[in-house]
A and B are shown apart, each in its own frame.
Chain A
Amino acid sequence: MILDYALTFAFLCFGFGLAMNVYRVFRAPGVPDRILALDTMVVNVIALIVLYGIKTKSGINFEAALLFAMTGFVSTVAYCKFILRGDIIE
Chain B
Amino acid sequence: MKKSPNKLESMGLTVNKRSTLKTLMSQWQLMLMSIPVLLYVLVFNYGPLFGWSYAFYDYNNGLGAKAKHPWIGWESFEFLFGRKGKDFIRSLRNTLGMSVINLVLGTVSAILLAILLNEVRNRKFKRTVQTVTYLPHFLSMVIVVSMAQNIFASDGPINQLLLGLGMAKEPIPFLSDGRYFWGMTGVINVWKEVGWNTIIYISAMTSIDPSLYEAAAIDGAGRFQRILHVTLPGIKSTFVILLIMNIGHLLEAGFEIQYLLGYGVVQDWSETIDVFSFRYAFKNDMYSVATASSMFKSVVGIILLVGANLIAKKLDEDTLL
Q: Are the chains A and B members of one assembly?
A: no
